[in-house]
Amino acid sequence: MIKFANIEFIYGLIGLPLLALLYYSYRRWRRKKLNIIGDIHLIKPLMLGATGFKPLLKFLMIFVATASLLIALAQPQVGTKLEEVKRMGVEVIIAVDVSNSMLSEDLKPNRMERAKQSILRLIDRLEDDRLGIIVFAGHSYLQLPLTTDYSAAKLIGSTIGPELVSLQGTAIGSAIDLAVETFSGDDSKSKALIIITDGENHEDDALSSAQAAADNGITIHTIGMGSSAGGPIPVYENGRMAGYRKDNQGDVIMTRLNTEILQQIAAVGSGEFIFADVADVNLAELINKIASMEKEEFGTKKFTDYDDKFQIFLLIVIVLLTFEFFISDKKNKLYSTMVRFVGEKK
């Protein structure tokens, strides 16, 4: 396993394509200026010692050296010792509605983005708990099995959307059933399911599924994404909004938050219903509920010893910059003389 002690330096790699673009723009500008003077093929022989290869080679060396330096500063570390670590926590599964109605903008910027923000905030507050993520629309899919890898959970939580599912619709009961299968099979009371949805359930009997989950000792919390006034469902084409979704009669479809079904599911599951209002999603009470649950002991494999590997990248930086320093921008005089001598002999 690889991790970075100072991961913020890795984000600097994002700027490297800009560096390459600036160099390309400079070379293009320089070529245009030479073309103003005359035909580049006629001018080039007059530019004694000039070479187009060496400046490019020097830039590539600096480019790779810069990337290597950023990686070295990030201090990459490789795990060398894997141990089983005992933890005390609960099992938490977040089931997220990714149906098209979650793109409605009655909550800004839209319901889906607000749901993702809530997921990341929940993950930040978890400690020693096992976490799983389910996405659902017409069907449910397990995106992240129960794990203590919160970095992976954040990555998945930040990238979910309607494009992950092939069948649209809203089947809350299906998500609850999948969560029951995903939780470990023991009879402990340390299992919590958090459902984030607008509550427009069209596919199944969510209450029956909630009751079955409650019978298995699972506490169910619901977070309602949307407003009672509702809003239209945007339709996107090539990344741009092309209008709003319409029914068979050509009327714009309005999607509204169904608080009644979400309150009923939470009541059956002995959990909390949270309303995501226009300002914010108040997760404090939900987090306190999870923190107060009975904890169970479980073991996870974890790297406990790491070796620093930044020296490799630092060596690359030193070697490349040393070679770059000794490479001239102009042609080698001895090489040019030899080429000219061979040409004259012919």
Q: Which residues contact 242 (CB under 8 A, 6 or more apart)?
A: 235, 236
Q: What is the pLDDT along the chain (346 residues), one digit of tens a residue?
A: 677 888 888 888 988 999 899 988 988 887 777 666 656 555 555 554 555 577 888 889 999 999 999 999 998 888 666 666 677 889 999 999 999 999 999 998 999 999 999 999 999 998 889 999 999 998 999 999 999 889 899 999 999 998 888 888 889 999 999 999 999 877 667 899 999 999 987 778 899 999 999 999 999 999 999 988 899 999 988 878 889 999 888 999 999 999 999 999 999 999 999 988 666 677 888 999 998 998 887 766 665 677 788 899 999 999 999 988 888 766 555 445 544 544 555 5
Closest CA to 98 of 225, 217, 276, 283: 225
Domains observed in the chain: 2-79+307-345 (no CATH), 91-294 (3.40.50.410)
Contact 147, 123 (CB under 8 A): no
Sign of CA dihedral 69, 71, 74, 75: negative
Distance in angstroms (rounded) separating the CA atoms of residues 30 and 114? 48
